[in-house]
């Protein structure tokens, strides 16, 4: 089975003016065929996320008219704008809405669903989205919208802003993308107000960003990130936040948005595989966005000089939101408008800057978590997640059922590159159940096709093995297919692929059709869509796992594991591992490395020598 949302890299989509004009031409024909006598442009199947959708298509028609002056469009824009102002602007409190600070304010807002009290919790983000659609139409109104409806729309947009920032609590779902979107709405609205009022709204928007968003960022992998539904990053909403930061910087020029966008972009670059696969998040785990992410990935990819567009989006939403029949849905339409208005082009080559939390070359990549344990390994087109044993997750030696990968002190990292190889040495102090402090050294070397991993630790009694990953998915053209098979993997010691011996949601067997996201939500405390799948996945007891026994002939006093991912699986893998005065020597068919002892240099940094 293919993963539902992991599709082609976003930078493979044409983004020339002609390509965007073709997209808009299709939207125009769909809108002309769909519009009702009342002026409604909503998709007939739209129920949720409906409050902004008709106005969103209106904004797409407005930018299409500005670019091509299609004579059919002014009348449709007027009718559809009148419909929104007449039928989709609510001023009576939605029964059951829990986040009001002022009752019966009379301020306008947009509903997540139309029926009163049906699903009021979504009204805050729906109003943010309606505000953004409204300011887009205002930006595109010249020569198209008459003075009276334009003034009415401006008044509604001003009311949306006041409802979001005065009548309700700000960002009640603790969703960074929604909150930054609201700030963008305020910054765009300010340009349409009188100088005095505009400056007040702009100042309030910047204050909200500084005090309510930036001050509450969450640290992960060395980066401070906008909090997303209680977590640091979500692979659906994180890139959307990046797009909002791009638009905030484009329209305001405020350096704070560029700085924070650069930080988030570098974080995305570090965690993202070469093939664009990613997983994990506090709201969605594998439900990637698509067109919503393009602006941010393109804008900040160019700023940091890296190919963020390798990110695999959901191509069914390649250009705009769409329903199951492929028909356009106006939800989030401003992202397409902003993409068209922005002139940044994709940066399609990888950054050459070494990243602490990533090793990447050619078709191989390793993303590391905060503990500098691999969170995702990509080699030979196969993606490996951290495996689980006895409720412990990661990559590392296991002895008596205890996984040695959690650091008990500072983790040291050394990067090294030669003409043909890229390497990363990770040294961390770890403590086992016996309370003995051991220095764990993990060497990752790649030539862009093959990944060699060597793990050395003070001698482990019993029958230790290396937990070497959970094979989860593999590239299949533009799609990603679930797998339960390790790719071309070899080990210096015996290698085996094991599966849980116990049934149940807390034992993940890769041979089943369950996805990581489904399993994670099944283990989460709250219902799917509201729970934290990252938190749920942490409850996993055991999983399918690659297990590698120690390499034979290791130097006295050491347990050494050596695994090769990719390369010629039929070729013998028999690395030479020796103790030398300079440190541990590792010689494979492709390189010779010397791992310095843990005393390291004058600053305590372990030394690494690499020859190809």
Q: Considering only CA atoms, which of 217, 214, 179, 184 is closest in space to residue 202?
A: 184
Mean model confidence pLDDT for the chain: 95
Burial class (CB in 10 A: 0-12, 13-18, 19+), 119: middle
Cα-Cα-Cα-Cα torsion 601, 604, 605, 608, nearest 10 degrees, comes to 50
Strand intervals (E) in 206-340: 218-220, 223-225
What per-residue confidence (pLDDT) applies to 443?
98
Helix (H) or strand (E) segment spanning residue 237: helix 237-252
Tens of pLDDT, residue by residue over 501-543, are 999 999 999 999 899 999 999 999 988 878 889 999 999 999 9
pLDDT beyond 90 at 52: yes
Structure tokens that stand for 199 in this block: 């400056």
Query: What CA–CA distance (Å, rounded) separates 562 from 579?
Result: 15
pLDDT beyond 80 at 124: yes
For 119-133, 279-293, 338-352, which range has the lowest pLDDT when averaged over its residues? 279-293
Residue 408 contacts residue 430 (beta carbons within 8 Å): yes
pLDDT beyond 90 at 570: no
Residue 240 contacts residue 179 (beta carbons within 8 Å): no
Residue in the structure block whose two tokens are 């929104």? 84
Between these two residues, 433 and 179, which has the higher pLDDT value? 179
What per-residue confidence (pLDDT) applies to 230?
79
Helix (H) or strand (E) segment spanning residue 456: strand 451-458
Largest separation between any pair of C-alpha atoms in the chain:
86
What per-residue confidence (pLDDT) applies to 53?
97
How many angstroms from the chain centroid is the CA of residue 41?
31
Is the four-CA dihedral 291, 293, 296, 298 of positive or negative sign? negative
Query: What CA–CA distance (Å, rounded) separates 92 from 87?
Result: 13
Query: What CA–CA distance (Å, rounded) separates 151 from 360?
Result: 53
3-state secondary structure of 66: helix
Residue 488 contacts residue 565 (beta carbons within 8 Å): yes
Q: Considering only CA atoms, which of 531, 507, 501, 503 is closest in space to residue 519?
A: 507
277 to each of 228, 289, 331, 340, how far by Cα in Å? Answer: 20, 12, 25, 26
Of the pLDDT bands very low, low, confident and very high (cuts 50, 70, 90), residue 599 is low
Tens of pLDDT, residue by residue over 204-242, are 999 999 999 999 999 999 999 999 987 889 999 999 999
What per-residue confidence (pLDDT) applies to 265?
98
Residue 590 contacts residue 490 (beta carbons within 8 Å): no
3-state secondary structure of 156: helix
* Cβ neighbour number for residue 117 with a 10 Å cutoff: 10
Tens of pLDDT, residue by residue over 55-88, are 999 999 999 999 999 999 999 999 999 999 999 9
Residues 6 or more apart whose Cβ sits within 8 Å of residue 257: 209, 245, 246, 248, 249
* Cβ neighbour number for residue 345 with a 10 Å cutoff: 12
49 to each of 42, 46, 126, 273, how far by Cα in Å? Answer: 11, 8, 7, 31
Mean pLDDT of the region 247-276: 97
Q: Considering only CA atoms, which of 253, 254, 261, 336 is closest in space to residue 291?
A: 336
* Cβ neighbour number for residue 191 with a 10 Å cutoff: 14
Tens of pLDDT, residue by residue over 392-442, are 999 999 999 999 999 999 999 999 999 999 999 999 999 999 999 999 999
Q: Considering only CA atoms, which of 238, 369, 370, 421 is closest in space to residue 313?
A: 238
What per-residue confidence (pLDDT) applies to 292?
97
What per-residue confidence (pLDDT) applies to 490?
95
Query: What CA–CA distance (Å, rounded) separates 471 from 483?
Result: 7
Q: What residues does 449 pair with on adjacent strands?
A: none
CA-based end-to-end distance of the chain: 39
Q: What DSSP string runs through 89-141?
A: -B-SPPTT-TTBSSTT----B--SSSSTTSSGGGHHHHHHHHHHHHHHHHHT-
Tens of pLDDT, residue by residue over 363-399, are 999 999 999 999 999 999 999 999 999 999 999 999 9
Residue 291 contacts residue 319 (beta carbons within 8 Å): yes
Of the pLDDT bands very low, low, confident and very high (cuts 50, 70, 90), residue 99 is very high
What per-residue confidence (pLDDT) applies to 598?
64
Residue 322 contacts residue 57 (beta carbons within 8 Å): no
């Amino acid at each position: 089975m293919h993963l539902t949302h992991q599709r082609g890299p976003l930078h493979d989509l044409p983004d020339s003016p002609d390509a965007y004009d073709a997209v808009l031409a299709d939207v125009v024909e769909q809108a002309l065929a769909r519009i009702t006598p009342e002026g409604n442009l909503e998709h007939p199947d739209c129920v949720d996320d409906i409050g902004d959708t008709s106005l969103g298509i209106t904004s797409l028609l407005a930018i299409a008219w500005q670019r091509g002056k299609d004579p059919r469009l002014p009348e449709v824009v007027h009718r559809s704008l009148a419909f929104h102002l007449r039928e989709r602007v609510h001023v009576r409190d939605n029964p059951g809405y829990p986040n009001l600070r002022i009752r019966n304010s009379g301020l306008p807002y947009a509903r997540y669903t139309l029926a009163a009290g049906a699903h009021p919790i979504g009204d805050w983000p729906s109003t943010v989205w309606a505000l953004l659609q409204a300011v887009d139409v205002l930006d595109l109104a010249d020569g198209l919208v008459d003075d009276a409806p334009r003034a009415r729309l401006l008044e509604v947009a001003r009311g949306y802003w006041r409802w979001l920032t005065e009548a309700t609590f700000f960002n009640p779902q603790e969703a960074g993308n929604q909150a930054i979107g609201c700030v963008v709405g305020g910054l765009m609205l300010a340009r349409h107000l009188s100088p005095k009022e505009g400056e007040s709204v702009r100042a309030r928007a910047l204050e909200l960003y500084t005090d309510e968003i930036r001050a509450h960022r969450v640290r992960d992998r060395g980066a401070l990130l906008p909090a997303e539904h209680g977590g640091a990053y979500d692979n659906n909403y994180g890139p959307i936040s990046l797009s909002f930061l791009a638009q905030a910087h484009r329209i305001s020029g405020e350096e704070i948005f560029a700085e924070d966008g650069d930080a988030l972009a570098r974080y995305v670059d570090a965690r993202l595989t070469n093939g664009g696969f990613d997983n994990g998040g506090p709201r969605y785990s594998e439900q990637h966005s698509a067109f919503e992410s393009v602006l941010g990935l393109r804008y900040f990819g160019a700023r940091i000089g890296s190919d963020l567009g390798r990110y695999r989006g959901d191509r069914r939403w390649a250009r705009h939101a769409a329903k199951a029949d492929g028909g356009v849905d106006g939800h989030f339409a401003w992202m397409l408008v902003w993409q068209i208005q922005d002139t940044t082009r994709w940066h399609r080559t990888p950054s050459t800057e070494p990243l602490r939390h990533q090793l990447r070359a050619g078709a191989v990549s390793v993303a590391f978590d905060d503990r500098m344990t691999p969170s995702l390994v990509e080699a030979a087109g196969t993606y490996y997640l951290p495996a689980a044993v006895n409720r412990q997750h990661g990559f590392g030696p296991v002895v008596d059922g205890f996984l040695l990968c959690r650091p008990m002190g500072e983790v040291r990292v050394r990067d090294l590159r030669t003409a043909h190889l890229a390497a990363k040495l990770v040294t961390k102090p770890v403590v086992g159940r016996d309370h003995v402090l051991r220095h764990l050294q993990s060497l990752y070397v790649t030539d862009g096709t093959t990944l060699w991993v060597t793990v050395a630790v003070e001698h482990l009694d019993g029958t230790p093995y290396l937990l070497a990953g959970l094979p989860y998915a593999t590239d299949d053209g533009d799609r990603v297919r679930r797998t339960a098979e390790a790719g071309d993997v070899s080990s210096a010691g015996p290698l085996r692929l094991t599966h849980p011996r116990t049934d149940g949601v807390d034992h993940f067997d890769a041979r089943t059709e369950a996805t990581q996201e489904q399993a994670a939500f099944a283990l989460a405390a709250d219902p799917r869509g509201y729970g934290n799948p990252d938190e749920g996945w942490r409850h996993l007891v055991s999983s399918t796992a690659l297990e590698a026994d120690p390499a034979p002939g290791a130097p006295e006093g050491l347990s050494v594991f050596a695994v090769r991912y990719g390369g010629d699986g039929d070729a013998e893998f028999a690395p030479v591992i020796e103790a030398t005065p300079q440190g541990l020597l590792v010689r494979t068919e492709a390189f010779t490395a010397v791992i310095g002892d843990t005393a390291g240099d004058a600053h305590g940094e372990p030394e690494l020598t690499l020859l190809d």
